[in-house]
Amino acid sequence: MPSEIVGGREVEIETRADGRSYRTIIWVVADAEDVFVRSVRGDAGKWYQRALSNPEVDLVLGDQRSTFVAVPAPDDESVERASAGFIQKYPPSRSVEAMIQADVLHTTMRLDPV
C-alpha cells in the first residue's frame, strides 16, 4: 500500500452498491499495525453503509489506488488507536472533535489490504 495514500490529509474512499461506484472524501489514519477510518456522520454516513454491505473498498489519492476489505472494529482497543491517530495526524479543530465523539466511535473500521 502506498504510504502517500495513508499519509494524505484527505483521501477518497470508493465504495460500491447497485452496480455503481461512489467516492467520498474521508480521513484515514494508520499506526504501525493497521489502517483505520471512521464515519464522522455515524451510521448515517452513506460510504459507511455501503462499506458494511460490500466491504471491498478502494482508497484513492490522485492516480494512486489501494484496495482493502473494510472490517468493523468497534472494540475498545481499535477505537482508542484510531482516535489517537486522528488526534495525532490532524490539527486540533471542531472536525477532529467530531471524529472522536462517543456517538461515532462504533463506526470505526479497520482496512485490511487485499
The mean per-residue pLDDT over the stretch 1-12 comes to 77
Distance between CA atoms of residues 101 and 5, nearest Å: 25
Provide the CA 96 distance to its chain's centre, in angstroms: 14
Contacts of residue 84, defined as CB under 8 A and 6 or more positions apart, other chains included, come to: 31
Contacts of residue 69, defined as CB under 8 A and 6 or more positions apart, other chains included, come to: 55, 56, 57, 111, 112, 114
Contacts of residue 13, defined as CB under 8 A and 6 or more positions apart, other chains included, come to: 23, 24, 26, 28, 37, 47, 51, 57, 58, 59, 60
The verdict on pTM exceeding 0.85 is: yes
Distance linking the first and last C-alpha atoms of the chain: 10
Cell numbers at 31, concatenated = 499506526
Report the CATH number at residue 16: 2.30.110.10
In which domain, by residue range, is 60 found?
3-113
The predicted-structure confidence for 67-107, as pLDDT tens digits, reads as follows 999 999 999 999 999 999 999 999 999 999 999 999 999 99
Name the domain count of the chain.
1
